[in-house]
Chain A
Amino acid sequence: MDIITLAEVAGNLSTIGYGLAAIGPGLGIGYLVGKAIEGTARQPEVGGRLQVLMFLGLAFVEVLALLGFVLAFIK
């Protein structure tokens, strides 16, 4: 095994693209859930309402990551 084949990159670039596409939504989900937990800790009685709102926001953030996932399959 020589040095050139050792450094060879095989496979599809779209895998890396998906990794990049997941960074933003990852930050978003972290921020979203963190804030929802913070809100629940401050005011436990609105926890149920906050949870619903969190899932609503989560759905919008998540679709960005999933767009990256779908586009990875389209060549």
Chain B
Amino acid sequence: MVTGIAGMGFAAVTTLAEASGPDIPSIDDFLPEPALFAGTPFAINRIILVRIIATVLLIAILGVSAHRAKLIPSRWQGAVEWLIEFVQNSIVYEVMGELRGKRYVPMITTIFLSILVFNLCGIIPGFNIAATATITMPLAFALWCFVQYWIAGIREKGLGRFLKDELFPKGIPWPIYILLSPIQLIELLLIRPFSLTIRLFANMISGHLLVALCFAATQWFFIETTTKAQFPLGILTFAGGAFMTVFEMAVAGLQAFIFAILTTAYINMSLPETE
């Protein structure tokens, strides 16, 4: 609603003052010019730079925390341990159970923590863009998940039985298989990895666009526009931007959680049913 009002504000500004209007963010934000090594295959643009810094930051934080770990945890160590135990207990063991889950805890923790930090880059001032906001990064994580659930299925069941269980679920009359099996195959090969990818990166793009739109409008209403009558609209867009920043923080956590829990669930579906 806030952006709707801001949008009406733009229309009013552009028709009344005939000015150029605020710097509305577009999809070009996600295709920045290379900053370093331009022209070579190792060209580094802003987003890749953010990724590198975020990775170094994550490794440094976890490395220092692990190096200084004591038997009686400090407050900081407690927080880091809480996060890791949250992944272990609330995501992996909750879905898979402890016996099976033990093997996948490191993988899911890596996925959760790196996606969380990469997503949070979107609201850290100075970075201002989520490292997962272009398709390559989520695709890399999704392909990791893809490879892992195929490996899990083939290792535990063998390729034939894995495909048979996935493509021809039990308890269904056979004519349905003509429709169902191709869908299941597409789901297994394409829909799972691509839905993981699109969910993450579209969330990050839309979040960035909303935050950037609110603050671009605020900049316009406060500083650039000549008609002072629109000053209150700037207060409104600023409040919207602040709200969207907090909302993005929640979305960053939620998307990392959803990616991790879906990866766990997909791997768990490949494993044979026991009990």
Contact = CB atoms under 8 A, between A and B. Distances in A.
A46 interface: no
A58 B94 contact: no
A67 B191 CA distance: 12
A31 interface: no
Contacts of B202: 66-67, 69-70
Interface string A50-75: 00100110111011001101100100
B195 A63 contact: yes
Given A66-B198, A69-B202, A70-B198, A55 B95 contact: no
Q: Interface majority SS on B: helix, strand, loop or mixed?
A: helix
Which among B202, B203, B258, B265 has the greatest number of chain A C-beta atoms within 10 A? B202
A67 B203 CA distance: 11
A64 to B, nearest CB: 9
Given A52-B94, A69-B206, A73-B27, A63 B198 contact: yes
A55 B261 CA distance: 9
A46 B66 CA distance: 35
A55 B265 CA distance: 12
A66 B261 contact: no
Given A55-B257, A59-B258, A66-B199, 15 more contacts: A48-B90, A48-B94, A49-B94, A55-B254, A55-B261, A56-B258, A56-B265, A58-B258, A63-B195, A63-B198, A66-B202, A66-B203, A67-B198, A70-B198, A73-B27
